Amino acid sequence: METSDRPERRPKITRREFLVAGSAVALAAACAPAAAPSPSPTTAAATKAATAAATTAVSSPGPTLKLGMLLPFTKVYAELGASQKRAAELYLKQAGGKLANRPVTFIFEDEANDPQVGLQKTQKFTEQDQTDLMMGIIATPIAYAIRNAVDSAKFIYIGTNAGGNAMTRDTTDCKPTCKSKYVFRTSFSAWQVSQPLGEWVSKKGDKEFFLCFSNYAFGTESAAAFVEGLAKNGGKETGRVAPPLNNADFVPFVTQIKGQATKNVYSFFSGTDAIGYIRAWNQLGLPAAGYKMYGAGFLTEQDVLKEVKDQANGAITSLFWSVELDNPENKAFRDLYQKEYNLLPDVFAVQMWDGMKALDEALKKTGGNTKDKDALIAALEGVSFKSPRGDFAFDKGTHNVVHDIYIREVKTTGGQTVNTIVDKFGKVTDPGK
């Protein structure tokens, strides 16, 4: 973990003011009489000192930008946190260590998959560390737990994974949580990554699905959104089973799947839970028995595929990105990440990369100013750019990202197991307002 003392913030001359002043000096010099006497040594020294001071004011870096990074470095989602840490550090490295000419210090804290710990670390960022803003959070319950703290502190938080719907929606009495002007999300909502797949499979003719999902807020929201999509074309759920988060043994739950007749199965798991689930699925012979695996894309993300490899072949998932996505930004990102870490990037890295990019672009508009919260919020709302996922922009009403959702199939080619693109839903916006 890195910390640093906050430098004193002093008013500084803007680039525009310096250029205007510099132009005036140059114009005066150009118009001076040719026979004008040389300045005295005292005047020359003063002019030289003033010029040096003005130059320093323009070129010197601003005060250190302190970013609180709340990520999991232990338990079920530890690798997801490591992926986001790598992406944040890589973005800063290629940016020369600065955003809007401000040197950046990351303060990393472990959310520990515990909402109370997450809340304590958030309060540490705001009160003790006095960070400029916060990024991160993988698990939805932690994002829900910290919402009121960041809202009351007027503390900007850019969520880079947790996808609970309520985080960017209006809800009754703000329960379990609700949107805040200080909260932005560069990742997804549960609805965005689940409903389109339900709509897609039912339109294709697969009407009945059994559900198996991690028993916590995001898992239940993901399952509900998938069923909503199924119903658009007359599909329905035939049953469900919900293992606990951070489950040690998936064999009993996969045995229940095999013990019922519906062959199409929608699942939500991520991290080590997804690895354990897919291994149990193969151990019990579900592919040979005709069962078909579908799910929200985290089920077969690159962090999982590098462990299970071709055991996931044939799985159909929905997500806003794939390592195989064919656009210049994705190719450049993949090459840069692979060169730096000798590892294919995953969606978690993309979400943090886009979080850093969105902040970078917004700070350029505010001249690096993070004290004027309304100005920074307006700058973030107006951010749009080409991302490894495609076009990136925020919904100004909710601060949730708007992006394409891809239907993907897992295939192993040339020794690499990846998600290949099958179909696309363009510009999917979460319906919550």
pLDDT digits (tens, 9 = 90+) for 149-193: 999 999 999 999 999 999 999 999 999 999 999 999 999 999 999
pLDDT digits (tens, 9 = 90+) for 268-309: 999 999 999 999 999 999 999 999 999 999 999 999 999 999
CA 328 to chain centre: 20
What is the average pLDDT score of the chain? 89
* 264 band by pLDDT with thresholds 50, 70 and 90: very high
pLDDT of residue 60: 76
Picking from 144, 84, 92, the residue whose alpha carbon sits closest to that of residue 109 is 84
Residues in the chain: 433
Asked whether residue 43 carries a pLDDT value surpassing 80, the answer given is no
pLDDT of residue 1: 41
Which pair of structure tokens corresponds to residue 138?
């993988």
pLDDT of residue 324: 95
pLDDT digits (tens, 9 = 90+) for 357-410: 999 999 999 999 999 999 999 999 999 999 999 999 999 999 999 999 999 999
Distance CA 195, CA 227 (A): 7
Asked whether residue 56 carries a pLDDT value surpassing 80, the answer given is no
Distance CA 82, CA 348 (A): 9
pLDDT of residue 21: 38
pTM, two decimal places = 0.85
Q: Looking at the DSSP assignment, which residues form a beta bridge with residue 110?
A: 71
Quick one: the chain helix, strand, coil %, rounded to 5? 45, 20, 35
DSSP-assigned letters across all residues of 199-257: HHHHHHT--EEEEEE-SSHHHHHHHHHHHHHHHTTT-EEEEEE-PPTT-S--HHHHHHH
Tell how strand 292-296 and strand 264-268 pair up: parallel
